[in-house]
Chains A and B, each alone.
Chain A
Amino acid sequence: MATETPVMLVAQAAVDASAEGGAVHATTEAHGGEHSEVFPPFDPSSFGTQLIWLAITFAFLYFTMSKLALPRIGSILEDRKSRIDGDLSAADAARQKTDAAIAAYEAAHAAARAKSQAIAEETRNAIKADIDGKRKAVEADLSKKVADAEASIQATKTEALGHVSEIAADTVQALVTQLTGSASADEARNAVATAAKE
């Protein structure tokens, strides 16, 4: 039943073909003689040999695929994946290293700058202290000299002032002698002292 239906369908198609063409022989009888009455794709007499060869070829295919071809392709893909992953992680590591190097450089830079500023500050302070010290010394020296000078002026002045009453007494004695003819040195000195006190 199942073997006949497609044959009839195909035969119908072939008849249609020849009807359209007109010049073609009917094909149903032609292949009837060659292939007996069985539609070849359903012919049970060929099943045995087809099954045997299918089993042989498919078993060979399965074993070659599972033992050789597929593990090989799988390992190629795996190698490539691990290589790419390795390269990516190496690139990542290199980038992190670069970042660390930049950070270290910046830290060193900042430290150096701070240090240089400290040194500059220290130097400035030292110079300032030095200058201040020197200036103080000079000032002290100067003020000492001023004080000395002032003291000597004072001494000279005191000395000079000490001579003033003597000179005045001399002058008074000389003046009184001129006016009165006689005057003692003690009197003159007393008179000058009295006058100076007033």
Chain B
Amino acid sequence: MADPNKVDPIHQFGLTNIFSLGGEGGFAFTNSALFMVLTVGLIVIFLLGSTAGRRLVPGRAQVVSELLYDFVANMVKGAAGSEGMKFFPFVFSLFMFVLMANMFGMIPFFFTTTSHIIVPAALSILVFVVVIGYGLYRNGFKFFKLFVPAGVPGYVLPIVVPIEVVSFLSRPISLSVRLFANILAGHITLKVFAGFIYSLGSLGVLGFLGASLPLIMTVAITALEFLVAALQAYVFAVLTSMYINDAIHPSH
């Protein structure tokens, strides 16, 4: 920050160009891109590095990798059945990407990739392209049974079908906004409370004492944000598994 006295909770979301490929306005490599690369790099290095030994009796790092595998595999199998395991690498990649991006965001001065609406939106649109594409490929026109719940009398259908369509179309929006808004709001709240500490602390002795209250809040919110970071990755992966289940079994 140019002025050390100002508290700007938005500054953390600003993009800065690190370098630009293909000249100005071209293929810019920003801090967001840097953290995407770091996120993916850390996931790949950790998962491949920890399992390189292929040990029968695993070490600590290998146990972590195996637990992540089992966790996501059980999630996909539970939500979408064994046929959904086709999409296990996809759901696993989504889960790991969102989890690591959120966790990187918890480190001070690090950029949070998922706090820009475009990243969760692109991921949810990808999920829906996969769901609709596979649903149509596997079930053909029966895929549209998704919008016609079984056992509903014919005269209610004109009301139910539009509701189902709207609820289906709103899913990518809710999926992306849920993740983005949680991360954005959490980081702004953290910054604002941290700003209170600074503001009160500069008031003298009384303010110094008063600053302990936002300090406690900041510590508590930091813990909460770690929970939110992990939980939102989990929610994103679970919902993706459930939507994939819809693509496999459209008649619910």
Contacts and interface: CB of A to CB of B under 8 A. Distances in A.
Interface of A: 6-7, 10, 13-14, 17-18, 20-25, 27, 30-31, 34-35, 39-43, 46-47, 49-55, 57-58, 60-62, 64-66, 68-70, 72-77, 79-80, 83
The B interface, classified by DSSP as helix, strand, loop or mixed, is: helix
25 contacts: A10-B188, A14-B8, A21-B198, A21-B199, A22-B199, A23-B5, A23-B199, A24-B7, A27-B6, A30-B6, A30-B8, A40-B13, A40-B116, A41-B13, A46-B32, A49-B30, A51-B122, A53-B30, A53-B36, A58-B93, A62-B90, A64-B44, A65-B43, A65-B92, A73-B69
Given A62-B89, A65-B47, A76 B54 contact: yes
A5 to B, nearest CB: 12
A27 B192 CA distance: 12
Contact of A70 (B14, B69, B122, B192): B69
Contact of A17 (B7, B11, B32, B203): B7
A80 B9 contact: no
B118 interface: yes
B143 interface: no
Contact of B32 (A13, A20, A50, A77): A50
B118 to A, nearest CB: 5
B237 interface: no
A57 B42 CA distance: 12
Interface string B105-117: 0000000010111
Interface of B: 2-3, 5-11, 13-15, 27-30, 32-33, 36-37, 39-40, 43-44, 47-48, 51, 54-56, 58, 62, 65-66, 69-70, 88-90, 92-93, 96-97, 113, 115-119, 122-123, 126, 180, 184, 188, 192, 195-196, 198-200, 202-203
B215 to A, nearest CB: 14
B184 to A, nearest CB: 6
Contact of B10 (A35, A53, A65, A80): A35
B170 to A, nearest CB: 15
Contacts of B97: 57-58, 61
A128 B71 CA distance: 84
Contacts of A60: 40, 44
A66 B89 contact: yes
A20 B33 contact: no
A73 B51 contact: yes
Given A42-B117, A62-B93, A49 B202 contact: no
B202 A17 contact: no
A50 B33 contact: yes
Contacts of B192: 13-14, 17
A91 to B, nearest CB: 17
Nearest to B47: A69
